[in-house]
Every structure is written in structure tokens, then in C-alpha cells.
Structure 1
Amino acid sequence: MAHGVCELLWLRRLLRDLGFEPQKPMDLYCDNKAAIAIAHNPVQHDRTKHVEVDRNFIKEKLDAKIVSFPFINSEYQLADVLTKAVSSSIFHNSLDKLGMCDIFART
């Protein structure tokens, strides 16, 4: 999530340099409810000590309303097709949404 926030900050700065100032928080869709809860919760737990620096960075950007973390079901997470094994129906559905096609298919 911290790397995603860094990429959003880079995109935000690029848009600002091009003359398009974002008027609302940029969305970083996340399919992990625990990660969203940790980002919003100011209380540190024993389980989250190893992510304290990243969590503070994320919380700072969240409080400044630069980013927001809407929840999205895993079946609608398009990046999953590129990062993990998914069922064939989700795979083909994601390929269609991404606009990818088989260049070796017969016409």
C-alpha cells in the first residue's frame, strides 16, 4: 500500500505540473480490509510493529485527504490477473476489461 501511495503522489505531482490540480483525494483501491483498517486506526498493535513507518506515512497522506482507500472485492481487482493465480472466468473477464487480446488467435 505504501508503494501505491508513493506512485499516486508521483502522479499527483505530474498532473499538477501539467496544469491539472486534483480536486479530491486519489483512490487506491484495496481488496484487503485488514490493511484498510490498519491505515485508518491510530492505535499500534503488536502485530503491526514491522509496518509502523509505512503506516505512519500512509496515515499522514490519508489525514491530509491526498489519498483514500475504497474497498473493492477481489473478483473486481484487475491487478490480480497480473500478480496471482485466478480462475479462468476471472482471468478472461479481466483480460476483456484491460483491453488485452490474443494476437495469435485465428481471425
Structure 2
Amino acid sequence: MELHCDKKSAIDVVHTPIQHDRTKHVEVDRHFVKEKIEKKIIRLPFIKSEDQLADILTKAVCGKVFYDSLTKLGIGDIYAAT
């Protein structure tokens, strides 16, 4: 399974065995993900922010980004008459 991530720092936290003060609150999740990566169950490939399709589900984006993402996801005009 691939979990596309647009934050290199988040990918580095999982791959780096050193615990940083800023990662204490995600320590259990980090170990869970690290274990799955080592077992090759999941991969964390980097993806550019403009190609991150999940953004339309998690944050406010401008209309152009929203409609471009809908097109990439294969979702047609939801307001068109059927």
C-alpha cells in the first residue's frame, strides 16, 4: 500500500530511529508505521503538494485546485443535470 505524503519531514521522522522532542506525541504511531515500512506492507513516497489529491478532503483550497483534483479523481460535474 502506498501512502502518498507531501511533507518530507514526516517521511524522515518515520525513517529516522532518533526520537526528537517534537515527535513525542506521535511516538506510538511512528513505531507502528515504521514497523509496517520495514515489513514492506506500506510505502511512503513523496508527492508534490500540487499533486496531493487528498487536500480537497482535508483543507480549504481554491476553486481551480478543487476542480483540477476532481478531474484527476475522475469525478464529473456534480451539478450537471442527469
TM-score (norm 2): 0.87
Q: Would you identify which runs of 4 or more consecutive aligned residues in structure 1 move more than 6 Å? A: none
The worse-fitting range, judged by mean Cα deviation, of 82-91 and 54-63 is: 82-91
- Name the aligned partner's letter for residue 8 of structure 2: K
For residue 58 of structure 1, report the CA deviation from its aligned partner.
0.8
1:62-73 equivalence runs, <5 A: 62-73=37-48
**Does 1:54 find its partner at 2:52?**
no
State the SS of the aligned residue for 2:9: helix
Larger RCO, structure (CA 8 Å, separation 6 or more) = 2
For residue 102 of structure 1, report the CA deviation from its aligned partner.
2.5
CA distance in 2 between partners of 1:62 and 1:38 (Å) = 12
State the SS of the aligned residue for 2:5: coil
TM-score (norm 1): 0.69
Root-mean-square deviation (CA, aligned residues, Å) is: 1.7
Percentage of matched positions with identical amino acids: 62
- Alignment partner of 1:94 out of 58, 61, 69: 69
1:1-107 equivalence runs, <5 A: 26-105=1-80
CA distance in 1 between partners of 2:41 and 2:79 (Å) = 43
- How many pairs align? 82
